[in-house]
Structure 1
Amino acid sequence: MADADRGNTLFGEIRRMARTSGAVGGIAARVAGERFLGIKTDKSAHAEDLKAILGGLKGPLMKVAQFLSTIPNALPEEYAEQLASLQANAPPMGWAFVRRRMGTELGPNWEKSFAEFGREAAAAASLGQVHRATMHDGTRVACKLQYPDMPSVVEADLRQLRLAMNLYARMDGAIQHEDIYEELAERLREEMDYQREASQMRLYGAMLRDTQSVHVPTPVDQLTTKRLLTMSWLDGRSILTRLSEEPSLEERNAYARALFMAWYVPLYRYGVIHGDPHLGNYQVRPDQGGINLLDFGAIRVFGPKFITGTLTLYEAVRDGDMDKAHHSFELWGFKGITRELMEVLLRWARFLYEPLLQDRVRLIQESDDPAFGRKVAEEVHAGLKRVGGVRPPREFVLMDRAAVGLGSVFLRLRAEVNWHDLYHELVQGYREEDLAARQSAALRDAGVPGAA
């Protein structure tokens, strides 16, 4: 890297850190002033400011903010509401810049690999942008090209994330964030490796091969590098756009069933979960009822015992068995589980498992109160503070996010489904050793890094 480039990189990182640390630190100070000094502040206005600052950045701090907004009480409510609405809105790279970067990834004659290549970005994301292209055999593909200098951007963002989480932890110790941070940091660093994402895309294609309602792109390995991912193009559009057209209950139920299978077939049969249920990561298909599952950068592989713990906790909630509940939390990796702490954790577990316990067609949430979930989270949060806080294991982070994120989508769909039947269809005949064997073979065949 030339000295001038290093200087520009360093300057950009310092400028970025100054912008984010000033916003985060200032807001944290105002929250602390209200909490400890009784100084009333307009947190909604501060949250709008933070949203504006983070939304203008190109790096993954915006993605982390979206993530944290789905974890109940990881952020103050006003901030969570604003950050949840953040979208990937980075300014696109111009054609001259794209052409140079494509040359860096595929060589000076890269354009000969395609019959057509769209000069304008078809979509933007937090780490890169997508271009439509057509190969010489007529295959339509999507080329996701990473923005420049993302490793230093990610590290700068992670430093700001640690600062923000440490500041909030000093104000509220209900949830100890150390392992949450480590999990987020590892997943974000993995997302920068598009060859890894290609292998994880192959993994999902294999795991969902027999799930007809879910479609997964196929990577084009010869046109994929660490910073360029070429994959088959799937036709689809935003689920929010489709919902605005008031589809029938039958169609909405079909989307709900497809999403349930997309997330939980991999989880209960292979011990793998897609860690980002953000609305931009799936589309509804033109044939109605099916979905496209996209963006395989944030994938979590669980040890078989962790999956056993999820089934054990379901049985504990169903049967009111405290000993079994204690065992399930131990399988998940929680430490120092007292009776009081377990009672608090079970309040959240009952909320999440409740739709699965009733063998009937129903909404995912039957309360007429739109803030019902938030109120349950607040009760759990208050309980955690009362018992001295909890340190969630790393594995819990993406699992909880998937449950909360998908639940919010099912609420939007107003789907009426027998969730009990969907769950039991997947876990029937479960054996830990069978999952372990399927997982090992699937990871190996897909070439996922780190697989045995």
Structure 2
Amino acid sequence: MSDGERRDEERNRFSARALRYARVGAGMGGVAARMASSRLIGGEGGANAAALAAALGGLKGPLMKVAQLMATVPDLLPPEYAAELQKLQADAPPMGWAFVRRRMMAELGRDWEARFAAFEHKPAAAASLGQVHRATTLDGEEVACKLQYPDMQAAVEADLAQLDLLFSLHRRMSAVIDTREIAAEIGERVREELDYRREAKHAALYAAMLQDEPRVRVPRVRAELSTGRLLTLQWLEGERILGFVDHPLAERNHLAEAMFAAWWMPFSRFGVIHGDPHLGNYTVFRAPDGAPTGINLLDYGCVRIFPPRFVAGVVELYRGLMAGDKARIVGAYETWGFKGLKREVIDILNIWAGFIYGPLMDDRVRTIADGVAPGQYGRREAFQVHKALKELGPVTVPREFVFMDRAAIGLGAVFLHLKAELNFHRLFEAAIGEFDAAAVAARQHAALAQARLL
């Protein structure tokens, strides 16, 4: 490429970034105005929230991903906004075939179509950072090709720069949670999601961690048909998990146990969580006799690898709560990164911890919500925490806690939809076993090395 061509390309990229900043800045300024008017003069919050969701769905990109994440953090947004933004997980508008051809050519070259026996024009799924097309390789394997939208690097920086508008507005209106660590964590995770080579390694990591778990299937990566912005995975046939909510209880419980294994086993034994447990990331596969057998785990963009000490903190808090041991509870919070905790703040944190850990401490068969209506799940506790923290001042949430909390809530939502009735206490005890942080560190190192993540 000549110097002149490089300058032209840089000008084009700068123009694209400037346009993105202008569009996002105007949009987020409008969001801030809507939120302020709704809070101060009782504006049409529901209508404004719907308009926000529509605007973000059209923008695509990381801002929509951030919106999805924010919608799952308790009390981070007004409830009507959170409800609308959660819909973006399934309703992102797709791009057309002309766009797909140009993007595939950029990733695999002009002869890209000759590298597939078939490639479906219509996307099988569309989301915030890319869309998925079903295809057939030359050796006959059915695959899913996840193709990233163009200019996502510039979009990430533009969107994350504007994210502080919403967070700072929230801090001014309701200084209960100091959101700066939350913003830092979300930014780091969203940037990671742009790297499809890293996501391919995450898939390999899960294949290693769950190799002895027959209830969870992990797709193989087709490295020769993948790049940093194109990820080609084995296509796993499956049905939407919501299609099983009216099946017999035994089947629903079996699927819930598979979900529990898919999430808690990697965390408790390797210090790894799948941080995006919404329903679109899982499908159900059946045995030859037609019985629902287990879960296909489909997406590996949002994976969080924790230091073993953090996992130890999770187990310590559980054991401290079980024993009513205040010193152990405080030690667990400090291990997580909470600092300068006063007794009153610890009592407040215990309200939320009791909600998250409640099903795990209850040694009996029960639903995850234990009689609480799905729409009210966690709201009473969130209200209590909000009310108490408002009197004590803001609490800084450690960044590692963000996705742990979000994933636990998302997993609980799956159990709610399935109306599963399980002894979550015994499942959790089996998952953590005789917990040993040193053993977690050794297993984690070996698995990361196998997946080439070290």
Calculate the TM-score normalised by the size of structure 1.
Answer: 0.94
User: What is the CA-CA distance between 1:5 and the residue it aligns to?
Assistant: 3.5
Query: What secondary structure does 2:261 align onto?
Result: helix
In the alignment, what sits opposite 1:446? 451
Task: Decide whether the 8 Å contact of 1:56 with 1:89 is kept in 2.
Answer: no
Task: Decide whether the 8 Å contact of 2:348 with 2:385 is kept in 1.
Answer: yes
1:326-345 counterparts in 2 under 5 A? 326-345=330-349
Distance 1:179 1:11, change over 3 A: closer
Task: Decide whether the 8 Å contact of 2:25 with 2:162 is kept in 1.
Answer: no
In the alignment, what sits opposite 1:79? 81
In the alignment, what sits opposite 1:354? 358
Q: 2: distance between equivalents of 1:6 and 1:151?
A: 10
Q: 1: distance between equivalents of 2:31 and 2:407?
A: 26
Query: Alignment partner for residue 30 of structure 2, among 15, 19, 23?
Result: 23
In the alignment, what sits opposite 1:195? 197
In the alignment, what sits opposite 1:185? 187
In the alignment, what sits opposite 1:306? 310
Q: 1: distance between equivalents of 2:239 and 2:260?
A: 19
Paired residues, what number? Answer: 442
Tell me which amino acid in the other structure corresponds to 1:281. Answer: N
User: Which whole-Å deviations, capped at 9, do the CAs of 1:245-271 have from their partners, x for residues lacking one?
Assistant: x21111111111111111111100000
1:16-95 counterparts in 2 under 5 A? 16-32=23-39, 34=40, 39-95=41-97
- Aligned-residue RMSD, C-alpha: 1.7
In the alignment, what sits opposite 2:397? 392
Distance 1:322 1:191, change over 3 A: same
Task: Decide whether the 8 Å contact of 1:180 with 1:394 is kept in 2.
Answer: yes
1:265-284 counterparts in 2 under 5 A? 265-284=265-284
Query: What secondary structure does 1:219 align onto?
Result: coil
Q: 1: distance between equivalents of 2:345 and 2:166?
A: 26
Which 5+ residue runs of structure 1 have no aligned equivalent?
none
Query: Alignment partner for residue 376 of structure 1, among 375, 378, 381?
Result: 381
Which 5+ residue runs of structure 2 have no aligned equivalent?
1-5
Query: What secondary structure does 2:46 align onto?
Result: helix
In the alignment, what sits opposite 2:439? 434
Please tell me whether residue 325 in structure 1 is matched to residue 332 in structure 2: no
Task: Decide whether the 8 Å contact of 2:284 with 2:296 is kept in 1.
Answer: yes
User: What is the CA-CA distance between 1:48 and the residue it aligns to?
Assistant: 2.1
Q: 2: distance between equivalents of 1:92 and 1:76?
A: 28
Q: 1: distance between equivalents of 2:336 and 2:372?
A: 33
Q: Name which of structure 1's ranges 261-270 and 277-286 shifts more when overlaid on structure 2.
A: 277-286
Q: 2: distance between equivalents of 1:316 and 1:228?
A: 45
Identity %: 51
Task: Decide whether the 8 Å contact of 2:62 with 2:156 is kept in 1.
Answer: yes
Calculate the TM-score normalised by the size of structure 2.
Answer: 0.93
Query: What secondary structure does 1:75 align onto?
Result: coil
Tell me which amino acid in the other structure corresponds to 1:343. Answer: D
Tell me which amino acid in the other structure corresponds to 2:408. Answer: A
Task: Decide whether the 8 Å contact of 2:164 with 2:183 is kept in 1.
Answer: yes
Q: 1: distance between equivalents of 2:80 and 2:91?
A: 22
Q: 2: distance between equivalents of 1:18 and 1:351?
A: 37
Distance 1:304 1:413, change over 3 A: same
In the alignment, what sits opposite 1:219? 221
User: What is the CA-CA distance between 1:385 and the residue it aligns to?
Assistant: 1.8
Tell me which amino acid in the other structure corresponds to 2:432. Answer: V
Query: What secondary structure does 2:89 align onto?
Result: coil
Distance 1:366 1:91, change over 3 A: closer
In the alignment, what sits opposite 1:255? 255
Tell me which amino acid in the other structure corresponds to 1:316. Answer: G
Q: 2: distance between equivalents of 1:134 and 1:181?
A: 40
Please tell me whether residue 6 in structure 1 is matched to residue 13 in structure 2: yes
Task: Decide whether the 8 Å contact of 1:130 with 1:144 is kept in 2.
Answer: yes
Task: Decide whether the 8 Å contact of 1:252 with 1:289 is kept in 2.
Answer: no
Q: 1: distance between equivalents of 2:364 and 2:260?
A: 16
Task: Decide whether the 8 Å contact of 1:20 with 1:160 is kept in 2.
Answer: no
